[in-house]
Amino acid sequence: MSEGQEQQIASVSSPEPLSAELQEIAGDLTTGGCVRAGRPELLTTPENLLPLLNRLHELPEPYSRLTDLCGVDWGDRVQVVYALCRGYGAEMVLVKVDLPRAQAEVPTVTGLWQLAFWPEREVAEMFGVTFVGHPNCEHLLLPEGFVGYPLLKDYEYDRSNPLLSPDPLREDPDAVLGGPPSEDETGAS
């Protein structure tokens, strides 16, 4: 393992404080922040999300690219993560919003980045997050009429669906075939 990798792992396990620059830009709109693995992370609330993203978008050297938008289920809360990049490199900042599982609502960012149309649809169907103001939040990958949010940790698939149900022959072969073969059947006399 190279020295750089070791350093990286060490810095993942022990987050460092934010840089003064980001602290100054975003300090009043965040509820926390740190630098993990050399990448700044800002934690914010649904109300402050759009002002914060707007501000990052309008810096003199703006974080103008949305490279990823995804959801995380932490058990007690659902988190939506926005990954923003700036310049031509991969200088990235993560913006994270914590949402209560019971009422996961967050404003859409399709107004800032039209690209967010697709990942927001995906997060909505997989984690049950409502993106308020999204132009067309139908299922993207799941079939129409699919019930439930499959990427939540406590999701169980529908075992009564004939296309998905476990195979009885595999689950309980004895019940299907009437017990293990008797001695005369196996030929052992």
Partner 1 sequence: MGLRELEDRLRQLPGNLPRAPEQPLRRWAQTHHEGGLSVAFINVVDKVLDTGRACSTWGLQFGLACCAIEMMAVGASRYDLDRFGVFFRGSPRQADAMLVAGTLTLKMADVLRRLYDQMPEPRYVIAVGNCAISGGRFYHHAYSVVRGVDRVVPVDIYVPGCPPRPESFIDAIRKLHQLMRRESIADTIGHGERQHEDFFRKRELP
Based on its alpha-carbon atoms, the radius of gyration of the chain, rounded to whole angstroms, reads 24
Report the residue from 61, 76, 167, 185 that binds partner 1 according to the rule CB under 8 A: 167
Q: Which stretch binds partner 1 (CB under 8 A): 77-85, 93-101, 104-112, 155-163?
A: 155-163
Q: Taking the complex as a whole, how short is the minimal distance between the CB of residue 70 and partner 1, in angstroms? A: 18
17: left (phi over 0), alpha (psi -120 to 50) or beta: beta
Q: Taking the complex as a whole, how short is the minimal distance between the CB of residue 164 and partner 1, in angstroms? A: 6
Specify which residues 77 forms β-bridges with: 100
Using CB under 8 A as the binding rule, whether residue 46 contacts partner 1 is answered as: no
Q: Rounded CA gap, 84 and 114, in Å? A: 14
DSSP state of 89: T
Q: Rounded CA gap, 162 and 64, in Å? A: 47
Q: Taking the complex as a whole, how short is the minimal distance between the CB of residue 121 and partner 1, in angstroms? A: 14
Asked if 188 and 181 count as a contact pair (C-beta separation under 8 A), the reply is no
For partner 1, what does the binding mask look like between residues 75 and 94, x meaning CB under 8 A?
Answer: --------------------
Task: Give the residue with the Cβ less far from partner 1, 167 or 183.
Answer: 167
Residues that bind partner 1 (CB under 8 A): 141-146, 148, 150, 155, 157-158, 161-170, 175-176
